Amino acid sequence: MILSIIIRGGGLFLNLFFSIYLSRAFSVIDVGEYFYILSLMMLITCVSSYGLDNAIIRDAARGVRTNYKLIGLFILILAVALSVILLSVLFDYKNGVQLCLAIVFYTLIKLYISFEKGSFRLNNAIVFESILPSITLFFITFFFSVPIISAVPISFFIIMILAFVQFKIRKCELPLLTIKNKGIGLVDIIRGNSSFFIIAFFNVIMMQLDTIMLAGLSNQEAVANYNLSIRFANVASVVLVFVNSYVGPRFSNLYSREKHADLKIIFRKSVFFCLVFSFVFFISIVFLSDYIGMLYSSDYTVSSLLIILSIGSSISLAFGPVATYLTMTKLEDKHRNTVVIALLVNCLSNFILIPIYGAEGAAISTIISILVKNILGVYYMQEYPRS
């Protein structure tokens, strides 16, 4: 547990350092374009993985024998197909090739990260998810003077090779659990995975919508300022990601063994931890926002954005792992409803606020959608108790 916190903290520090490095090494336009490509990549890889990353976490935690080779082949084919389609649509987009290559590489990386999370090797998953991208991008751009956009697919290719090597070594190391299930095939997984896919797809859209809409309704400068600000604001979100990664497999395992009392105890403890940290985090950001803004190049304005975005991150953290609880206790359809409704609210508020307030409007929209999503999630937990 302590080691996981240290590794997650190291990943957080590296991401913050890398965001500062970006602001000082590249122009506002290049940084905005970089974040725009990442948002598109996250969106397309969610489609190409068909939500199978979440299914792998669930099944590996329960001891279900899954044909990972077939899953990997299916994901690769879908990622390549989507990349070709995207490239044909964006044929006049100067960074289309880099984007498509990144999509293919990152899709397979997600598969491996999910396998590690479900196998309770959280530390290794954190390294591949949060640490290696910043390290590889920094070395490629700093030591080899590669443009940041061109460095993205190179970085993910290196990480994909490392993931492939470790997967070949560890594929037979699934933990021994009390549950014994017969093996299931790819077709069975796909048929039963629609809820996971819909949830994952709309979650990713909601996370990336602000950046994509800012690029369309405002400019790359607004995209850059928004994403640099949210890197610090997402310190709270990183804590929630850690909590979800820790409790997710345990929720699934306890629910499948019908230990509902233990499940509720873990949930309540995690909520208390999240609530305390969210309060400390927000107070810290309010007092330190001006100093944080000074870390970036003078071409960027992030202080006011940081305070607004930290409100949303604090609210999200204060509610705790509500989404993970719903997903891992077979209430995926209810969680899907919360995500879809929050996404519609976010989209509508973005259309209204971004043309008027720019990046600040997108930040306010984020707060509104976070409130809607979590309040609905708590409602469904109360309406459909697991006991």
Q: Do 145 and 203 belong to one domain?
A: no
Same domain, 175 and 197: no
Cα–chain-centroid distance for residue 358? 24
Which has the higher per-residue pLDDT, 50 or 205?
205
Phi-psi sector, 64: left (phi>0), alpha (psi -120 to 50), beta: beta
106 in Cβ contact with 45 (< 8 Å): yes
What one-letter code names the amino acid at 168? Answer: K
CA dist 81 and 186 (Å) reads: 18
Claim to verify: residue 186 and residue 240 sit in the same structural domain: no
Quick one: 209 and 141 in the same domain?
A: no
Distance from the first to the final alpha carbon of the chain: 28
Q: Nearest to residue 114, comparing CAs of 218, 11, 23, 248?
A: 248
For residues 332 and 92, the model is more confident at 332
Residues 285, 213 share a domain: yes
- pLDDT band, residue 382 (cuts 50/70/90): confident
One domain, residues 77 and 206 = no
Which of 140, 156, 191 delimits the end of a domain? 191
- Phi/psi at 66 (5° precision): -120, 140
- Comparing 80-94, 299-313, 360-374, the range with the smallest average pLDDT is 80-94
Which residues, other chains included, contact 1 with Cβ-Cβ below 8 Å and sequence gap of 6+?
Answer: 246
* Mean pLDDT, rounded, for 208-237: 91
28 and 170, same domain (yes or no): yes
Give pLDDT, residue 300. 87
In this predicted structure, what is the pLDDT of residue 188? 59
**With 60 as the cut, is the pLDDT of residue 362 above it?**
yes
- Last residue in a domain, options 168, 191, 214: 191
Whether the CB-CB separation of 370 and 237 falls below 8 Å is answered with no
Check residues 352 and 244 and name the one with the higher pLDDT: 352
If one counts the domains in the chain, the total is 2
- Give the integer Cα–Cα distance in Å for 296 and 289: 12
The answer to whether 60 touches 174, Cβ cutoff 8 Å, is yes
The reported pLDDT for the residue numbered 317 is: 93
Predicted confidence (pLDDT) per residue in 106-144, tens digit:
888 888 888 787 777 878 888 998 899 999 999 999 999
Q: Does 175 lie in the same domain as 33?
A: yes
C-alpha R_g of the chain: 20
| C-alpha–C-alpha distance, residues 354 and 217, integer Å | 7
Taking a C-beta distance cutoff of 8 angstroms, is the pair 15, 231 a contact? yes
Residue with the bigger pLDDT between 60 and 44: it is 44
Domain span holding position 122: 1-191
Give, in order, the Cα–Cα distances in Å from 96 to each of 87, 101, 102, 321.
6, 9, 10, 36
Residues 162, 200 within the same domain: no
| pLDDT exceeds 80 at position 266 | yes
| Residue 175 pLDDT | 41
* In a shared domain, residues 62 and 51: yes
Res 251 pLDDT > 70: yes
Residue 319 pLDDT class (50, 70, 90 cuts): very high
Per-residue pLDDT tens over the stretch 46-100: 777 766 666 676 666 666 656 666 666 677 777 777 777 776 776 566 788 888 8
Among residues 191, 217, 249, the one where a domain terminates is 191
pLDDT of residue 176: 37
Mean of per-residue pLDDT scores for the chain? 83
Find residue 204's DSSP bridge partners: none
Do 277 and 364 belong to one domain?
Answer: yes
The one-character DSSP state at 66 is B
The alpha carbon torsion through 68, 73, 74, 80 (nearest 10 deg) reads 140
Query: Which residues, at least 6 apart from 121, have a Cβ–Cβ distance to it below 8 Å?
Result: 170
pLDDT the model gives residue 381: 85
Least confident segment among 54-58, 234-238, 258-262: 54-58
In this structure, the answer to whether residues 9 and 149 fall within a common structural domain is yes
| Cβ–Cβ < 8 Å for 317, 240 | yes
Q: Which residue has the higher pLDDT, 272 or 180?
A: 272
